[in-house]
Amino acid sequence: MFNKSLFSKLEEKYGPEKMAQFSEMVTEMYDILHKDTVKNEHIELSEYDFERDWWSDKHKQLIEE
């Protein structure tokens, strides 16, 4: 399941306020994973980058509404 579908299902159940908080938390999680990967000099970062940025954008959209 991709982020957009996952987000939609969760938003139906929890609503936009909780999803704003969840999106912020998931963004932080992927940022921590990204930084750990960089620190340990792993090469493949694109997945963490993509996930962090996607959830961060979703969080920004929700708090602007």
Calculate the alpha carbon distances from 15 to 5, 7, 11, 32, 57 in Å: 15, 10, 5, 26, 17
| Contact indicator for 31, 52 with CB cutoff of 8 Å | yes
Q: What is the pLDDT of residue 17?
A: 94
> What mean pLDDT value characterizes the chain?
87
pLDDT digits (tens, 9 = 90+) for 24-54: 999 999 899 888 887 777 656 667 788 889 9
Which pTM does this prediction carry? 0.71
Amino acid at 27: T
